[in-house]
Structure 1
Amino acid sequence: MSVLEIRDLHVTVETEEGTTPILNGLSLTLRKGETHAIMGPNGSGKSTLAYTIAGHPKYTVTGGSIALDGEDVLEMTVDERARAGLFLAMQYPVEIPGVTVTNFLRTAKTAIDGEAPAIRTWTKEVKQSMKDLRMDPKFAARNVNEGFSGGEKKRHEILQLELLKPQFAVLDETDSGLDVDALKVVSEGVNRAKETTGLGVLLITHYTRILRYIDPDFVHVMVAGRIVEEGGPELADRLEDEGYDRYLEPAVDTEA
């Protein structure tokens, strides 16, 4: 069984104030087929974790490790990480003018697999996935995310997830900006990927509403770049009722 292991991870980013620590000794183990939800207040480092796993150059790893089946992820380029089976669904998907969804998806699939998919089979698979995600077939001919609504961008992220078939997916606040209907459709897409490929999911979110549709095996509370509490789905329910104040108060007392 494939395993993504994060050990004592320390990450900094350059800001106007200089080098700023964001992740401060974070550890997490994600096995294929598992769903881990990471919850926490704004500024706790959740998106930093997502982009560090993906290899964003803005973030500098100053300590710790990320390993996929024993292989050092931090030594891999971004495209090598993708080919190894890592996928990031971005919180704010970018527009790519001049590149159609059809060309983008087939080029990405070819890069991941090392060979182009058979046209007939691929076309059928794309159409079915778009139908499942309730995407208008006309989107296939549109430029990537150009003029897409927030919900359409998120559906396109999950379309990529279904077609590229990674081993592990990091979903960075995929639920943000979605109405109830879109949330259900996107969640169904994630669940299909889990069922068909045994996908491991690292689900980053502020709220529990997406966890009504994607059942987490583990819930982690992240504050100030660390995991401060872990548990099962019941922890998410408690966070819904109590919020994050109980984790933040000690930090306030220390400053005082």
Structure 2
Amino acid sequence: MATLEIRDLHVGVEEADGSSKEILRGVDLTIRSGETHAIMGPNGSGKSTLAYSIAGHPKYTVTGGSVTLDGADVLEMSVDERARAGLFLAMQYPVEVPGVTVSNFLRTAKTAVDGEAPKLRTWVKEVRTAMEGLRMDASFAERNVNEGFSGGEKKRHEILQLELLKPKFAILDETDSGLDVDALKVVSEGVNRVRQATDVGVLLITHYTRILRYITPDFVHVFVDGRVAEQGGPELADVLEESGYDRFLTAARS
């Protein structure tokens, strides 16, 4: 069983005037293999900052605390080392990569993460099966990465990567953002297939409960003002659906 442990994490970002603004103010979170944790909170609460800090985005500066994966110091790893260690980030806003086809990107990523190229015949079958599960046309593989993709296509591509790379821990940053109901169901089914087939630990970041109707979390954490304000089981999401975040915001300001 693998463990991703976040302890008293403080993270800042540089402002336009050169000053530093603290966004994460002491985050404690432990995710184990096979667990799905949903982080819910209002805009500006630091949810995406947490995701990008774990992944190693250079925009964010860790000023205190620790992130470890099976005891190894994640914060001392380069971005590619974090990926090889088993971390995966599905971005809220995936970037375009002109001139690189999806098929080349996927095989290059798999080779980099595993340290060796997958056997071509097996790989082609795996890619085809995963794409069919996500209801992606075969021609999708020859398009340039995210270039001209709709919002739904970008999110399906992120989950396609998740299925093929098979990480230890997957951070899904607002995967439901911009998806219609049909696309949300397809993407959720893809995440659930990975959960059923592997022991992946999932950190699912979202504003709304609608994706939790399809991906049932084991734990729900309310994120406000850069820290976890409350945590509980999946029933906590129902409370948030009913009452919103007002009481947590009020408590944070007092």
Q: TM-score range by the shorter chain?
A: over 0.9
Separation (CA, whole Å) in 2 of partners of 1:36 and 1:169: 10
Q: Residue 117 of structure 1 aligns to a residue in which SS?
A: coil
Separation (CA, whole Å) in 1 of partners of 2:235 and 2:251: 23
| 1:20 corresponding residue in structure 2 | 21
TM-score (norm 2): 0.98
What does 1:187-202 correspond to in 2, within 5 Å?
Answer: 187-202=188-203
| Cα distance per residue 1:109-143 (max 9 Å; x no partner) | 00001110111100011011000000111110000
| Structure 1 gaps, min length 5 | none
| 1:62 corresponding residue in structure 2 | 63
Identity rate, percent: 78
- Look up the equivalent residue of 2:8 and give its one-letter code: D
| 1:172 corresponding residue in structure 2 | 173
| Structure 2 gaps, min length 5 | none
TM-score (norm 1): 0.98
| 1:149 corresponding residue in structure 2 | 150
Separation (CA, whole Å) in 2 of partners of 1:143 and 1:250: 47
- Look up the equivalent residue of 1:10 and give its one-letter code: H
**Pairwise CA RMSD:** 0.7
Moved more, 237-246 or 13-22: 13-22
What does 1:87-102 correspond to in 2, within 5 Å?
Answer: 87-102=88-103
Count matched residues.
253
Deviation at 1:16, TM superposition (A): 2.4
| 2:120 corresponding residue in structure 1 | 119
In the alignment, is residue 222 of structure 1 matched against residue 214 of structure 2? no
Separation (CA, whole Å) in 1 of partners of 2:186 and 2:199: 19
| 1:2 corresponding residue in structure 2 | 2
Q: Residue 157 of structure 2 aligns to a residue in which SS?
A: helix
| Cα distance per residue 1:124-167 (max 9 Å; x no partner) | 11011000000111110000000000000000000000000000
Separation (CA, whole Å) in 2 of partners of 1:234 and 1:126: 36
Separation (CA, whole Å) in 1 of partners of 2:252 and 2:177: 27
Q: Residue 47 of structure 1 aligns to a residue in which SS?
A: helix
